[in-house]
Homo-oligomer: A and B are copies of this chain.
Amino acid sequence: MAFTEPDKLVSLEEAAGHVADGDVVALGGALSYREPMALVRELVRARRRDLHLVGSAHGIDVDLLVGAGAVRVLEESYVGYEQDFGLAPAYRRAAESGRLALRETCCYTLLQQLRAAEYGIPFMPVRGILGTGIRDLHPEYGEIRCPFTGQRLVAVPALAPDVALIHGLLADRRGNVHLARPLVLDERFTFASRKVVVTVERLASPSEVAEAGVVLPYFAVTAVVEAPYGAHPTSCYPHYTYDRAHLGEWVKAAGTDEGVHQYLDRYVLGPGGEEGYLKSVGEDRLQALGEWSASDERWKELLS
Contacts and interface: CB of A to CB of B under 8 A. Distances in A.
Interface of A: 112, 119-127, 142-144, 146-149, 151, 153, 155, 157
A210 to B, nearest CB: 13
Contact of A120 (B119, B124, B127, B157): B127
A146 to B, nearest CB: 4
Most chain B beta carbons < 10 A, residue from A127, A142, A146: A146
B119 A112 contact: yes
Nearest to A146: B122
Contact of A126 (B121, B143, B146): B121
A169 to B, nearest CB: 17
A155 to B, nearest CB: 5
Given A121-B146, A142-B147, A144-B144, 12 more contacts: A120-B127, A121-B125, A121-B126, A121-B127, A122-B125, A122-B146, A122-B149, A123-B146, A125-B125, A142-B148, A147-B155, A148-B157
7 smallest beta-carbon distances between A and B, as pairs: A142-B147, A122-B146, A122-B149, A147-B155, A121-B125, A148-B157, A144-B147
B147 A143 contact: yes
Contacts of A155: 146-148
A121 B153 contact: yes
Contacts of A148: 122-123, 142, 155, 157
Contacts of A127: 120-121
A121 B124 CA distance: 10
A142 B143 CA distance: 17
A123 B143 contact: no
Contact of A122 (B123, B143, B151): B151
Contact of A123 (B119, B120, B147, B157): B147
A107 to B, nearest CB: 14
A176 B304 CA distance: 35
Nearest to A145: B144
Nearest to A143: B147
Contacts of A126: 121
Contacts of A142: 147-148
Nearest to A147: B142
A259 B153 CA distance: 53
Given A142-B147, A143-B147, A147-B142, A123 B125 contact: yes
A190 to B, nearest CB: 18
Nearest to A119: B112
A124 B148 CA distance: 11
A148 B122 CA distance: 8
